[in-house]
């Protein structure tokens, strides 16, 4: 089967689930599962073709985070140099210009935690992983109520080998 024909088949599966398939279930989680179960594997491709700008938004986020990480690293290095110079020279005040922003005694270990609420299949995490090293994050949580989407996210995280990413249902 050609790639174009396979894509049309996947899109039809998603469109059927959106327009015609009855949604069943007593709880919100059950209704989400009813809605997404048949389309979970085709969901990301359909959304990528339908909703433009997601990758650009994630690229902007990664650039901003990278700058913050670099500032925190410079500030931490300046603090360490200042402390070492103070210890070596016995001086009470040592000024080190770093371009960072660490005040006296402040410890900067800037390892953010990312919680992707409604993170579904983990697509955002995969894109961010291609844009920056996700090991800079202390922890990444992909949170979703839908078991089918979480199953796809768990497969994705395992295939990427990301040890600090956890899928939470």
SS3 per-residue string spanning the chain = CCHHHHHHHHHHHHHHHHHCCCCCCCCHHHHHHHHHCCCCCCHHHHHHHHCCCHHHHHHHHHHHHHHHHHHHHHHHHHHHHHHHHHHHHCCCCCCCCCCCCCCCCCCCCCCCEEEEECCCCCHHHHHHHHHCCHHHCCEEEEECCCHHHHHHHHHHHHHHCCCCEEEEC
Average pLDDT, the chain: 86
Q: Provide the whole-model pTM.
A: 0.74
Asked if 121 and 43 touch (Cβ cutoff 8 Å), the reply is: yes
Residue 70 or residue 108, greater confidence: 70
pLDDT band at 100 (very low <50, low <70, confident <90, very high): very low
Residue 86 or residue 23, greater confidence: 23
Residue 104: per-residue pLDDT: 47
pLDDT > 70: percent of the chain: 88
pLDDT, tens digit, 9 for 90 and up, residues 17-69: 889 999 999 999 999 999 999 898 888 888 888 888 999 999 999 999 988 88
Residue 102: per-residue pLDDT: 46
pLDDT band at 3 (very low <50, low <70, confident <90, very high): confident
pLDDT, tens digit, 9 for 90 and up, residues 130-157: 999 998 899 999 999 999 999 999 999 9
Residue 79: per-residue pLDDT: 77
């Amino acid at each position: 089967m050609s790639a174009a024909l396979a894509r049309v088949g996947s899109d039809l599966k998603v469109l059927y689930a959106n327009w015609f398939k009855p949604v069943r279930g007593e709880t919100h989680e059950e209704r989400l599962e009813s809605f997404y179960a048949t389309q979970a594997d085709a969901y990301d491709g359909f959304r990528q073709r339908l909703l433009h700008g997601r990758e650009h938004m994630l690229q902007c986020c990664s650039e901003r985070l990278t700058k913050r990480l670099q500032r925190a690293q410079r500030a931490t290095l300046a603090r360490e140099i200042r402390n070492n110079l103070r210890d070596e020279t016995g001086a009470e005040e040592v000024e080190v210009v770093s371009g960072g922003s660490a005040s006296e005694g402040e410890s900067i270990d800037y390892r953010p935690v990312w919680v992707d609420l409604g993170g579904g299949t983990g697509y955002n995490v995969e894109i961010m992983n291609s844009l920056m090293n996700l090991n800079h994050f202390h922890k990444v949580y992909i949170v979703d109520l839908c078991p089918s989407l979480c199953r796809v996210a768990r497969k994705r995280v395992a295939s990427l080998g990301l040890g600090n990413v956890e899928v939470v249902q």
